[in-house]
Structure 1
Amino acid sequence: MDRSAMNNRAFTVVLIAVSFAFLLLLRPFYHAIFWAATLAILFWPVHRRLLARMPARPGLAALVSLLMCLVIVIVPITLLVITLANEVVHFYARAAESGGIGGYLERIAAAIPPWAQAWFERLGAEELRAVQERVSEAAGQALQFLLARAVGIGQNTLQVAIGFLLMLYLLFFFFLDGDRIIRVARSAIPMERAYVGELAAKFVTVVKATIKGNLVVAAIQGALGGLMFWVLGIPGPVLWGVVMAFLSLLPAIGAWLVWAPVAIYLLATGSVAKGLVVIAFGAGVIGLIDNLLRPILVGKETRMPDYLVLLSTLGGLALFGLTGFVAGPVIAALFLVTWEIFIVRLRNAPAGADDRPGTGAG
């Protein structure tokens, strides 16, 4: 092996090692980096218009774009998280005083008419009690998980604040130096320009489609569900609205897992009018939002199969937490487009390419 080849291989090893160490160094800030990049992608068309109006003042354009992100996205989400944390704590206290989730289930069972109770007993009272215990246990664990998250936010206030400020700092410089960062990244990636451009375009498209087609639709469904609960006087409207938004993100599940049991509870406890309103509004309005708004917001942008969206969303949540709502589907989409490029290259490769000089094992 000549000296030049040894130098190249040694440099490649050093480059990989240093890059790996740098990625480990940034690991605590992955969430801030990811969300700063996501917001920069979403607001990039607006920023380009601002930059076109003030080409001599790119810093001011970046600052205005940052303030727009704050007012439109970040401040409302921050207020929602604070309200949600307070509501989770209060709801957990109310549930504990009334006997937990099991207490609600017992009140439903006590309100069931005698003829229905006899019918249930013929089906198997022991099996129904077992189901009730499992539902109560699962709901209690979910509520305790939310409570732990809410308390964790309060306990890690300094860490959350640092991540938030870092995200804003990065977002400003993504707006300011976005074009240069893209050029450097494209020139540094050892891949054909056409493939790099296709991957970048796919990344941007999937981020926009995920935000507009999933998060926005889910947020509208959750907001409508929370508003319905607030109007009807149902405790915890913000909490249940967030839960409905979360469930709306998962294909084949949806917000009905919240409003349907609430409607059954209202009907069983004598609030027939409220129960019918929840059913009518849930099925007629909340249930149709996805079919009506998603085609408008997403348009002809890419859509992955529902099963892949479900798997990638759940996997993203397990790996990255709340960031996985977007990171999971984005990774899945990049996986698909990378394999599409590989298959196209394989099909277009000339016959006998592996027999050319320098391509063999020797």
Structure 2
Amino acid sequence: MPSFNDRLKQLLLIGIIGALVIMLFISMKAFIPGILGAITLYILSREKYFQLTFYRKWRKGWTAGLFILFYLVILGVPVYLIILLLSPRIDAYLSAPDKYIDLVRKILTNIQSETGIDILSTAHINTFFDKISAFLPGLVNSTTNLLFNLALVLFLLYYLLINGKSIEQYLNSITPLKEKNLHTLVYETKKNIKANALGIPMISIIQGFIATIGYYIFHVPEFLIWGVLTGLFAFFPIVGTMIIWVPIDIYLYATGNNWQATGLLLYSLLVTGNADTLARMTLLKKIGNVHPVITIIGVISGLSLFGFIGLIFGPLLVSYIGVLFSIYLNEYITDETMVNTDKH
């Protein structure tokens, strides 16, 4: 049995390791999204990569390089197009914000004259646009950080793929869980990451595409930009797309485009809105179903913790609460119950 000094040395060593890990985490906080992104892509790629290298005997380095090239196209091209599409509009707003403030005031005045409802005062409008003006420069500056994290994702993914088998064996050896519970943890991790990294982006792309068609049909100005923003906000289940199309619909009504506004309202409710429900009932159930409540809570918490990659890892963290609680019951409570039963 270990002595008190041995226990003390053990706790001291664990404390030093913990302190170093915390220091490393704090110093690399800006790069956490890149690290988590690499882990995500590794989990999505490992099965196919192992199949090619272990069974078909492809060379590890060349195969990993092909995966890197594939993800460079899949991730890099959309990011580049979104930056290319949104940057000129952000610059236009920052160069002349008063033009947009006057437009919003005019729309609100029209609404007030038609309905008699005073939605926002001048002070509230100014405060709202001041916050946007303070937020947008940071968003533009974060483009460099986004590109660096993307490069970090691909760099780390290469080495994770090449050394993945040995890393997994080491993690299995140091994980203090029963084999059954370890398999449960691995299964839930794979399921949630696949559901969030594949299913939710696919649903967002579908909703963004469908919304773009509606914006084009009903002559919404800058319909392509609004379609992209609708797809991005579709990461938030149920209410996400409404953040975009409801203000657009109000704008159309306020500017006298009543038939376009009515058409877009019906289209958004019946087509764009139901696309989310239909996709979750079909697509997500095949990939790995995640409850919308878990997704909403996870996305909100994940964005504040990890940035954009929190859209994937936020719901995973929320799911882990239930999974780890079940594992705790299986590891300890069940065993203690069995022991007490045997005593009686």
**Relative to structure 1, is the Cα distance of residues 100 and 342 closer, same or farther in structure 2, using a 3 angstrom cutoff?**
farther
1:214-253 CA distances to partner (integer Å, 9 max, x unpaired)?
Answer: 2221232123324543565534445433432343222342
**Relative to structure 1, is the Cα distance of residues 163 and 307 closer, same or farther in structure 2, using a 3 angstrom cutoff?**
closer
CA distance in 1, matches of 2:140, 2:287: 39
Does the CA contact (< 8 Å) of 2:177 and 2:331 recur in 1? Answer: no
- Which has the larger displacement, 192-201 or 10-19? 10-19
Match of 1:72? 74
Match of 2:136? 147
Unaligned segments of structure 1, at least 5 residues: 122-127, 357-362
CA distance in 2, matches of 1:215, 1:142: 28
> One-letter code of the match for 1:270?
G
CA distance in 2, matches of 1:101, 1:187: 62
Matches within 5 A, 1:252-267: 252-267=238-253
CA distance in 2, matches of 1:106, 1:350: 65
CA distance in 2, matches of 1:63, 1:73: 15
Displacement of 1:132 in angstroms is 5.3
- Which has the larger displacement, 261-270 or 335-344? 261-270
Does the CA contact (< 8 Å) of 1:85 and 1:151 recur in 2? Answer: yes
Displacement of 1:52 in angstroms is 5.2
Displacement of 1:98 in angstroms is 4.3
Match of 1:63? 65
The correspondence for 2:311, drawn from 325, 338, 341, is 325
TM-score, normalized by length of structure 1?
A: 0.80
Match of 1:209? 195
Displacement of 1:289 in angstroms is 1.3
Secondary structure of the 2:118 match is helix
CA distance in 1, matches of 2:23, 2:66: 32
> One-letter code of the match for 1:24?
M
1:8-60 CA distances to partner (integer Å, 9 max, x unpaired)?
Answer: 54134314422441353244221111001112222334334433564241111
1:107-147 CA distances to partner (integer Å, 9 max, x unpaired)?
Answer: 6337x6xxxx4xx44xxxxxx32545587457535633652
Tell whether 2:338 aligns with 1:339. Answer: no
Does the CA contact (< 8 Å) of 2:192 and 2:290 recur in 1? Answer: no
Displacement of 1:179 in angstroms is 1.8
Does the CA contact (< 8 Å) of 1:263 and 1:275 recur in 2? Answer: yes
Secondary structure of the 1:270 match is coil
**Relative to structure 1, is the Cα distance of residues 48 and 289 closer, same or farther in structure 2, using a 3 angstrom cutoff?**
farther
Q: How many residues align?
A: 339
CA distance in 1, matches of 2:248, 2:233: 15
CA distance in 2, matches of 1:165, 1:310: 28
Say which structure, 1 or 2, has more relative contact order (CA 8 Å, 6+ apart). 2
Match of 1:89? 91
**Relative to structure 1, is the Cα distance of residues 65 and 161 closer, same or farther in structure 2, using a 3 angstrom cutoff?**
same
Displacement of 1:316 in angstroms is 1.6
Unaligned segments of structure 2, at least 5 residues: none
Match of 2:165? 179
CA distance in 1, matches of 2:246, 2:18: 51
- Which has the larger displacement, 323-332 or 230-239? 230-239
> One-letter code of the match for 2:6?
N
Across the aligned residues of Structure 1 and Structure 2, the Cα RMSD in angstroms comes to 3.2
Displacement of 1:86 in angstroms is 2.9
Match of 1:287? 273
**Relative to structure 1, is the Cα distance of residues 64 and 23 closer, same or farther in structure 2, using a 3 angstrom cutoff?**
farther
TM-score, normalized by length of structure 2?
A: 0.83
CA distance in 1, matches of 2:337, 2:262: 68
